[in-house]
Amino acid sequence: MKCKILIIDDEQYILDSLKDALEDEGYTVLTSLSGYEGIKIIETENPDVVLLDIWLKDIDGVEILKRVKSAYENLPIIMISGHGTIETAVQCTKLKAFDFIEKPLNLEKVLITIKNAIEFKKIKEENVYLKKSFLKDEIILGNSEPIKRLLEDIEKIAPTDSWVLITGENGTGKELVAKLIHKKSKRKDKPFIDVNCAAIPEELIESELFGHEKGSFTGATEQKKGKFDLANKGTLFLDEIGDMSLKTQAKILRILQEQKFERVGGTEVIEVDVRVIAATNKNLEEEIKKGNFREDLYYRLNVVPIYVPPLRERREDIPVLAKYFLNKFSYEKDGKNRFLSKEAINILQNYHWPGNVRELKNLMERIVILVEKEEITEYDILRYIRPQNGKINDFEKIIGGFSSLSEAVKFFEKVFIEKKIKEFNGNITKTAEAIGMTRRNLYRKIKNLGIEV
């Protein structure tokens, strides 16, 4: 989309000549001879950049700057003036004008300043967007076809009261999907209660889910509400449903069918209205065949199935997610502007991500903690990616991430030499001897490959 520039100046010939020049550069240009009209145009047309003369007939440019900035903080305003004094320039800077250009205008300077201003606005807006989503951490990122379909399905499923079964490998985003369904449902203002079925000990599961009355067993000193109670009118998220024992499955099935239960040690029948969303990384159909999962419970839960595909089946989402997490953790840590080199992205995109999005997220967090510089290169990725799992298959996939042989060789040399130097506690002479190089050549390699010793 074309960028829109508004020029406010009381000299018609300035408007005309700038308009021509900027349109030649591909901008959409709006003009105004009057200050008040200019403010109106800002409100209705939403320009990307404003060029604003300080001396206008109806209202002072500095006053316009003040008003507009208070309402549109991220809109860059470039002040222009034929009678600029240092004081006004200082005043404009204080009021957060983007820049100050003196008349007679040098077209080249104007063009460069506009370009910078557009860039500035873009970054500002991105930051606002990121800040908002960081705080919530509830967005499902990705532009791949599977993710688009997933988001469409969520939109359709969420407003209904249907039960949902979410399947997918570890770390693919099942919990995130469950939360989003709740957030987009009629129950959004009611509780979202999370039950990790794998983490509750068998003998406590009833008390966890249904609650207990005071004195019903040793240690039950108070009455306790169960998760079903707490989730009343809201959503109950049964996570890791495939890890429940058959006995618990039977109990849950009864509750799910009746939406009625008694607390442990109690006689009162409690009725609840909950929407159940279940999730598992197991293939329940196979578990049924093996006799580990009840078929009737499976059909009860699996009214609407949602499958979250592994990251390696939607590789185009990897750069988006990696950049997002890199920004998020940098923002939280030190506000540095870390970015990924092309080769780094290449490697990320070719890796097979057994731990899916969670693994990518953890990697980015580790890198933000451990790497001080802003450019994150392939070496940084390789150093911190899954160090414990050195299967040859992983390595092949990593190497496949390079586009040229020389890059791959350089990488290998670097990792190899670093490792060896460490092995010999930083002693270059010993390292050189051990790997069959002269000291001098090893020093040259260290320098060329940027190895820190």
Ligand X SMILES: Nc1ncnc2c1ncn2[C@@H]1O[C@H](COP(=O)(O)OP(=O)(O)OP(=O)(O)O)[C@@H](O)[C@H]1O
Q: H-helix or E-strand containing 417? A: helix 405-423
User: 63-69 long-range contacts, Cβ below 8 Å, gap at least 24?
Assistant: 63/35, 64/8, 64/35, 64/38, 64/39, 65/92, 65/95, 65/97, 66/95, 67/39, 68/39, 68/42, 69/95, 69/96
Of 24 and 137, the one with the shorter C-beta distance to ligand X is: 137
Q: How far apart, in Å, are the Cα atoms of 374 and each of 334, 339, 340?
A: 11, 6, 8
Whether omega before 104 lies within 30 degrees of 0, making that bond cis, reads yes
Examine residue 309 and tell whether it contacts ligand X (CB under 6 A): no
Q: Which does 142 bind (CB under 5 to 8 A by kind): Mg ion, ligand X, none?
A: ligand X
Q: CA distances (Å), 141 to each of 98, 147, 212, 320, 332, in order?
A: 32, 8, 41, 7, 19
Residue among 174 and 445 whose Cβ is closer to ligand X: 174
Q: Where are the alpha helices (DSSP H) in 215-261?
A: 227-230, 246-258
C-beta of 139 vs 370, nearer to Mg ion: 139
Distance (Å, whole) CA 82 – CA 102: 6
Which one of 11, 25, 102, 175 is in contact with Mg ion (CB under 5 A)?
A: 175
Task: Write out the DSSP string of 58-76.
Answer: SS-HHHHHHHHHHH-TT--
Size of the residue set binding ligand X (CB under 6 A):
17
The entry of ligand X, Mg ion, none near residue 173 (CB within 5 to 8 angstroms by kind) is ligand X
Task: Indicate which of Mg ion, ligand X, none lies near residue 64 (CB less than 5 to 8 Å, by partner kind).
Answer: none
Q: Choose one: 55-63, 104-112, 124-132, 140-148; the region binding ligand X (CB under 6 A).
A: 140-148
The verdict on 175 binding ligand X (CB under 6 A) reads yes
Nearest residue (beta carbon) to Mg ion: 175
Instruction: Pick out residues in 347-366 that bind ligand X (CB under 6 A).
Output: 357-358, 361
Task: Name which of 282 and 397 has its Cβ closer to Mg ion.
Answer: 282
| CA gap 343, 403 in Å, rounded | 8
The stretch among 126-134, 169-177, 178-186, 407-415 that binds Mg ion (CB under 5 A) is 169-177
Query: Applying CB under 5 A, which part among 113-121, 170-178, 355-363, 422-430 lies near Mg ion?
Result: 170-178
Nearest CB to ligand X, comparing residues 91 and 292: 292
CB of 403 to ligand X, least distance (A): 27
Whole-number Å distance between alpha carbons of 256 and 233: 14
List the structure tokens of 237: 């998220």
Q: Does 359 bind Mg ion (CB under 5 A)?
A: no
Closer of 117 and 277 to Mg ion (Cβ): 277
Among 38, 76, 142, 234, binds ligand X (CB under 6 A): 142
Q: How, if at all, do strands 211-212 and 224-225 pair?
A: antiparallel
- Any contact of residue 323 with ligand X (CB under 6 A)? no
| Chain residues in the site for Mg ion (CB under 5 A) | 175
| Chain residues in the site for ligand X (CB under 6 A) | 137, 140-142, 168, 170-176, 281, 321, 357-358, 361
